[in-house]
Structure 1
Amino acid sequence: MTKTDSPSSASRMLVAAAAIIAGLYWFADLLTPLALAIFLWLTIDAFAQSLSKRVSFLPRAAAVPVAILIVFISLAAIVGFVIEYAAVFSRSLGAYQVRLDELIRQGYDLANMSAAPPTVGQLFANLNPGAILRGVADALQSFGGQALFVIIYVACLFAAQASMPAKLEQIFQDEKERGRAAKIGKAIARSMEQYLWVQTITGLMIAVASWALFAVVGLENGLFWAAIIFVLSYIPVVGGAAGSLLPALFALVQFTSPVPALVILAGTQGIGFVVGNIIQPRMTGDSLNISVLVVFLSLVFWGKLWGGPGAFLAVPMTVMLMIVLAQFPSTRWIAVMLSNNGNPDTSVDADDPPASSAAVSNQGDVKEETTTSSDDKV
């Protein structure tokens, strides 16, 4: 590339990036279910492969529907559990009205506000219940519509999976390019599988340890708060902070002393710190290969574009983008900046044999040929 066409090339890249970002934002309702379906499809496919390998009598054709059934039943159980406990939790809020009024008065005193503090009843009277119910109904309708589209997309992806090798042969005529494309696809699938596995296991660790802490302190609905912490653990950075703050705020309402709330806040933060900084890095290794700063920026970026689903998909989408950008010379520098160790091809080249191993193998072949030739002479 010459110096004269470098500015024009950079400007074209900026325009293309702006157009892509605008498309992601304006077509979020269409792309969000598709992205969730691709992520779920890769997860179910990896789970089916693991089942077929570990269960000898289960063939690949039967492992896929079994994996689909297990994943969707697990998701439905989690959603149903949270909804059931949320209803129980909302019915018990009336018993804490006196404590809430006291907290409001204490807040007014700390702020040195001379006006009379409102009561909880007055605050709810000023709200518009009809508008709130309409908003909840619209949110549930949107969630149900997206869930239906996700299920349809997942079924279509599994139906199209059988013809994918033939399509790759037609797209990539060269065998080397076709092998490279297959490695990129495997690297993306492996990264997403690793991310979901690590987030699930570490989320369970944090939720179980937090539930034990809630039981010791005596926090009511501790199982509900542990389930909320587990669900929020799939959202990096922000999810852990919210999971620690919500039960601590409820402890302020339940207990007359702020000590239990401080114990819960410090305990959940300590549990998250140990799991996130000691256990999780050892489980993840270099499979994701993105820095903490990039994780936070990706959370802000995808959350702004796609809301809650974008926050959930922030890390896997960024890893996928990094792997793809690393394959082109003009965008490789972006992938290097996104990576943690400066080598965005780590997951793609994981299946390639090291140069030293190849050299040792070649040397062994040479020695074997030399021995054979000497035997022939004898």
Structure 2
Amino acid sequence: MSKTGTSFLVNFAVAAGLLYVFRAVLWPFALALVLAILITSLSDRVVRVLPNARRWMVFVITAVIVGGIIVASIALMIEGASRIVDEMPAMLARINQLLALIHPPGGGTLSLEALSQKVELGPLADQLLTSVQDASAGFGLTLIFLFFLLISRPMIEKRVERIVAARGGRGLATVLERSFAGVESYMYVQTMTGLMIAVGSAVAMFAVGLDNALFWSLVIFLFSYFPVLGVMVGSLGPTLFALLQFPSLTPAIMVFVGIHIVSSIVGNLVLPKMQADSQNIDPAASLIAVGMWTVLWGVPGAFLAIPLTLALMYGLAQYDDLRWVAVLISHDGDPTPMEAAE
């Protein structure tokens, strides 16, 4: 292996180790930064529609609305999770009924008790509880970071300008501009399309009378930020609980099919027009990125995988020795498409 390749692997391993060790602080800050970019993007779009509106007032109103939505979403998630816990005894009984219909090759019947003997549920429950506690603390830290990022925005911009001027050239400025533009576009597109999918899914779930339909709509909205497989994974929850709630398979099938019809329409007709060339990441690279960031930061890493990978691609493209990595990440082989326009 060449000296450059060895150096890249060493630096990559060191960076991954630091990201993992300091994950408790880094992912809340990264999420707060992404949310701050989203708020700025939404406020700028409102100002373009209403040019006579005061920019600072629009920014404050947008920040309050987004913050309120985040708090309300967290409350809805907690309420939905508590309802699921309350209904757990009835759900476990229903699962036992469904498992009794399955006849394994060796004879006998399946049950939760039999499955629990084969799978150690204790460590899984402890790990799940720890993840929930870490996520709760992380979201609280995210809101704190977001507050300080928003109120310190003018000072941060001045400091960045001074750093760029001190280093000379446009390299750092170009990376920052493209990174923020890429993250802004990704968050805006995924938010709009995610809302469309969530609303359409809510209609399908309310149509069959599924309990906690708002909770599951929020789950699908959040999973829509995960590339490729997000909606597929998000649809499993409401489909499973429809299977448990209703005596027949029809409502569960209607929920599953309804969610994927809406997702297919949005993904094939709406998303390509909104996406354009703003998310120049190869699908295979997207899956690899989601896997790597999930290993480093858990579920928040999966949520932030594409924005972070976009920023990484633009950064690597500025260095001749590392540009090949950015080319592999990109979808069309050109990680800096704006250079042609410039």
Same fold (TM over 0.5): yes
Distance 1:327 1:252, change over 3 A: same
Q: Which residue does 1:249 correspond to in 2?
A: 240
Does 1:261 find its partner at 2:252? yes
Match of 1:35 among 10, 30, 34: 30
**1:164-313 alignment, distance < 5 Å:** 164-172=160-168, 177-178=169-170, 180-313=171-304
Residue 52 of structure 1 aligns with which residue? 47
Partner SS for 1:290: coil
Question: 1:186, CA displacement in angstroms?
Answer: 2.1
Greater relative contact order (Cα < 8 A, sep 6+): 2
Partner of 1:376: none
Shift of 1:60: 3.2
Which residue is equivalent to 1:358? none
CA deviation after TM superposition for structure 1 residue 238, in Å: 3.5
Taking the aligned partners of 1:40 and 1:53, their CA distance within structure 2 comes to: 20
2:339 maps to: 349
Gaps of 5+ in 1: 1-5, 353-378
**Structure-1 separation of matches of 2:129 and 2:174:** 48
Q: Distance in 1 between matches of 2:216 and 2:161?
A: 45
Shift of 1:305: 0.9
Q: Which structure: larger Rg?
A: 1
Fraction of identical pairs, as percent? 31
Q: What's the offset of the Cα at 1:152?
A: 5.5
Deviates more, 1:248-257 or 1:52-61: 52-61
1:139 & 1:7 partners in 2: Cα distance? Answer: 41
Once residues 113 and 287 of structure 1 are traced to their aligned partners in structure 2, the CA distance between those partners, rounded to angstroms, is 55
Contact kept? 2:29, 2:142, Cα under 8 Å = no
**Contact conserved, 1:47 with 1:67, CA < 8 A, in 2?**
yes
**Aligned mates of 2:268, 2:151 — CA distance in 1:** 39
Using the TM superposition, give the Cα deviation of residue 65 of structure 1 relative to its aligned residue in structure 2, in angstroms.
2.5
The alpha-carbon distance between structure 1 residues 97 and 65, as it changes in their structure 2 partners (threshold 3 A), is: same
Please give the per-residue CA displacement for 1:331-354, whole angstroms capped at 9, x wherever unaligned. 1111111111111111x43762xx
**Which residue number corresponds to residue 158 of structure 2?**
162
By how many angstroms is 1:317 displaced?
0.9
Query: Does 2:1 match 1:9?
Result: no
Q: For 1:17-96, what aligned pairs fall within 5 Å after superposition?
A: 17-96=12-91
- The 3 A distance-change label for structure 1 pair 22 and 156 is farther
Paired with 1:57 and 1:26, the residues of 2 have a C-alpha distance of 48
| Cα-to-partner distance string for 1:307-342 (whole Å, 9 max, x where unaligned) | 111101111111111111111111111111111111
Aligned with 1:323 (options 304, 314, 317): 314
What does residue range 102-121 of structure 1 map to in structure 2 within 5 Å?
102-107=97-102, 109-110=103-104, 112-114=106-108, 117=111
CA distance in 2, matches of 1:58, 1:247: 42
Q: Which deviates further from its counterpart, 196-205 or 147-156? A: 147-156
Name the CA distance, whole Å, in 2 between partners of 1:37 and 1:218: 36
CA contact (8 A) 2:41 2:188 kept: no
State how far apart, in whole Å, the 1-side matches of 2:131 and 2:313 are: 37
The amino acid of 1:218's aligned partner reads: G
CA distance in 2, matches of 1:29, 1:98: 38
Q: Does the 8 A contact of 1:248 with 1:264 survive in 2?
A: yes
Note the residue ranges of structure 2 that are not aligned, 5 or more in a row.
none
* 8 Å Cα contact 1:41/1:157 also seen in 2: no
Aligned residues: 336
Match of 1:355 in 2: none
Measured in 2, the distance between the counterparts of 1:22 and 1:237 equals 27
Q: What is the distance in 2 between the residues matched to 1:7 and 1:140?
A: 41
CA distance in 2, matches of 1:44, 1:137: 26
CA distance in 1, matches of 2:335, 2:62: 31
Give, in whole Å, the separation in 1 of the partners of 2:270 and 2:7.
43
Instruction: Tell me the alpha carbon deviations over residues 280-324 of structure 1, each in whole angstroms, 9 at most, x when there is no partner.
Output: 122101111112111111111111111111101111111111111
SS at the partner of 2:226?
A: coil
Alignment RMSD (CA, Å): 3.0
Bigger mean CA offset, 240-249 vs 155-164: 155-164
C-alpha separation in 2, matches of 1:101 and 1:210: 28
